[in-house]
Amino acid sequence: MHELGIVFNIIDSVDKIAIEKNVDSVKKVILEVGEVSSVIPRYVEDCWKWAVENRSQRMKGCELKIIVLKALSYCQDCEETYPTLPSGRKCPKCGGNHTYLITGNETQIQSIEVADPPSDK
């Protein structure tokens, strides 16, 4: 299960950002996952709950939100851009297979929410 490795990577990246920004606690991470990436959101969520409690003090209790990005492909024969699912490599317009994936294969951090800094009132 490679999701755990991915989750550790994300946590480490977020942790690094938190250190740079002098943040003590990260509340929420929004992650973009491409529709045809090899990452399965449900597994990521399962790993996440365990990993945030054990990997970093700053990430304890941090919530994860996954946004699935639509996959898009481009056909070089007829210059059509089409949703990769369900057509796959075959262009739905001209039936050609000189196509490539434009987007939908990535896993990236979209944004991070941090806890409010303690006020000294």
What residues make contact with Zn ion under the rule CB under 5 A? Answer: 75, 77-78, 80, 91, 93-94, 96
CB contact set of 64 (below 8 Å; sequence gap of 6+): 28, 29, 31, 44, 45, 48, 52
Smaller CB separation from Zn ion, 8 or 74: 74
**DSSP symbols for 28-83:** EEEEEEETTSS--HHHHHHHHHHHHHHH-GGGTT-EEEEEEEPPEEEETTT--EEE
Judged by CB, which is closer to Zn ion: 45, or 80?
A: 80
Measured from the CB of residue 74, what is the shortest distance to Zn ion in angstroms? Answer: 9
User: Chain centroid to CA 22: how far?
Assistant: 24
Nearer to Zn ion, 21 or 98 (CB): 98
To the nearest whole angstrom, how small is the minimum distance from the Cβ of residue 94 to Zn ion? 3
Closest approach, Cβ 37 to Zn ion, in A, equals 24
Closest to Zn ion by CB, 10 vs 104, is: 104
CB of 70 to Zn ion, least distance (A): 18
